Chain A
Amino acid sequence: EAQVTQNPRYLITVTGKKLTVTCSQNMNHEYMSWYRQDPGLGLRQIYYSMNVEVTDKGDVPEGYKVSRKEKRNFPLILESPSPNQTSLYFCASKPTTSHNEQFFGPGTRLTVL
């Protein structure tokens, strides 16, 4: 089944404890992206990647890191999480940069205490 998977789905952590949210897609998509969803703010792009080893900042990159060492994986790293990073996170992919429809993962709900 073609899909985007994220792990974990739920995570409760404490301020300053490094964490990684994994994202993997099995559709051989070139483009991958991370979003956070907050009430009243919609989906805001954190980072995106046009291909392996090519990443760039979205609108809200502060406090996050990403890497794209393999085409299928695009992990989101929070080196020192803070409570304002409590949010619902989505990974998405699309076939190429020129293709417009995005395919989303199921989401990761993160709580930072």
Chain B
Amino acid sequence: QQQVKQSPQSLIVQKGGISIINCAYENTAFDYFPWYQQFPGKGPALLIAIRPDVSEKKEGRFTISFNKSAKQFSLHIMDSQPGDSATYFCAPSVQGAQKLVFGQGTRLTINP
């Protein structure tokens, strides 16, 4: 079974700080590395994703860093805002995969 381990389970950051969430995986065939964001009462929605041919991707305040040799990727949220408070999931996969796996989730709270 594909193993995906996400950490930490919960994270509290002060407004303006940097939030960092990590995702470790075992399957070296994974070629798509997304992060989903879920607000209370809503379904998850794709936030940002990266392919293994690049080591970093930045979209606004959100950055994915990818370390192929360590088999892990992380989400960095710069200048964290209270509106970023949500649960975040990683969901690495192989393109064309039918069975999909998610990390355990990280509940992020940004204190004003």
Contacts and interface: CB of A to CB of B under 8 A. Distances in A.
Contacts of A42: 6, 89, 102-105
Contacts, number: 65
A104 B43 contact: yes
Grouping DSSP codes into helix (H, G, I), strand (E, B) and loop, the A interface class, with mixed when no group exceeds half, is: strand
Given A40-B9, A50-B98, A102-B100, A90 B34 contact: no
A43 interface: yes
Interface stretch (B12-20, B44-52, B58-66, B67-75): B44-52
Contacts of A31: 98
Given A90-B44, A104-B44, 14 more contacts: A40-B104, A41-B104, A42-B89, A42-B102, A43-B44, A43-B91, A43-B102, A101-B49, A102-B46, A103-B45, A104-B45, A105-B43, A106-B43, A107-B41
Interface of A: 4, 31, 33, 35, 37, 40-45, 48, 50, 56, 58-59, 90, 92, 97-98, 100-107
